[in-house]
Amino acid sequence: MSLEVVSENRSFGGVQSVYKHPSSTCGCEMTFAVYTPPQAKQGPVPVLWYLSGLTCTHENAMSKGGFQQHAAKHGLAVVFPDTSPRGEGVADDQAYDLGQGAGFYVNATREPWSPHFQMYDYVVSELRAEVENLLPGERRHGITGHSMGGHGALTIALRNPELFDSVSAFAPIANPTRSDWGRKQLSAYLGEDEAAWCHHDATLLLEEKGWKDDILIDQGADDQFLDLLKPEALAAAMATRRQPGQIRLQAGYDHSYYFVSTFAGDHVAWHSERLHGSN
């Protein structure tokens, strides 16, 4: 890849950078951000991926999530990918929950989405390789995300346990094959064969595969989208599978970045313990 530095800003002793590059996977220019903590000056640091939700770019969590201060404290780099391909010639839809800003972290097989909407491969393979070039020597990765990004974090980790050592989520779309936040998008991107959708449903994947360690989920009890997110389905799957982990229902919190930023420190510390020990 040919990376272009869009910006670099000092933050809590580290550097918040934004890059863009031509993506061979998505067939367009892609933008992503990386926070490098001050500890990286002494050697490799573990990497935490944060996948964002519907309508977001790399910038939302980078600017509103408050991850930099916690990452600097615990010595983690944080990667903020975009949520979809973008630009002239990239398919889109008038609805906010389909098309640009709504890639759902799948590889689309249906037109008009398939030429560009390959977000699963982009995150798992192409961007992963670039991040490892930017942060040489480090092979310990955790992943988290919010809403659609929580769905992406869980499904990508469950399908690739060899690539990720820890996984958490904020208000994930937990059972998309049974939700209007999922059935619409999966049918558009993958077609009507629901068997293909199962690879992108955290509840079904957890029932089938389980996870090698514990899982942390935070969910706002006053989330206005609670019926679409279906955390109860994921909780039932964890109980049936006897999967170690926590689903914490947080009283009074909604679906916003105020919720994410409130618990960002908990998640960074939790990943830190699993990636390189408590700091």
Nearest C-alpha neighbor of 117 from the set 132, 107, 102, 126? 107
Q: Which amino acid is at 72?
A: A
CA dist 38 and 232 (Å) reads 39
Number of H helices, E strands in the chain: 10, 9
Instruction: Tell me which DSSP letter residue 198 carries.
Output: G
Question: Is the Cα dihedral 178, 155, 142, 30 positive or negative?
Answer: negative
User: What dihedral do alpha carbons 190, 196, 201, 205 form, nearest 10°?
Assistant: -150
Q: Is 255 a catalytic residue?
A: yes
CB distance 77 to 40 below 8 Å: yes
φ/ψ region of 253 (left if φ > 0, alpha if ψ in -120 to 50, else beta) reads beta
Question: Is the Cα dihedral 75, 1, 6, 32 positive or negative?
Answer: negative
**Beta-carbon count within 10 A of 125 CB:** 14
User: How buried is residue 269: exposed, middle or buried, by Cβ count under 10 Å (0-12/13-18/19+)?
Assistant: middle
Q: Which residue out of 223, 267, 272, 276 is catalytically annotated?
A: 223
Helices 67-74 and 257-276: crossing angle in degrees, nearest 10, is 10
Q: Which residue out of 74, 151, 255, 276 is catalytically annotated?
A: 255
Residue 67: φ, ψ to 5°: -75, -25
Q: Which residue out of 23, 52, 147, 168 is catalytically annotated?
A: 147
Active site members: 147, 223, 255
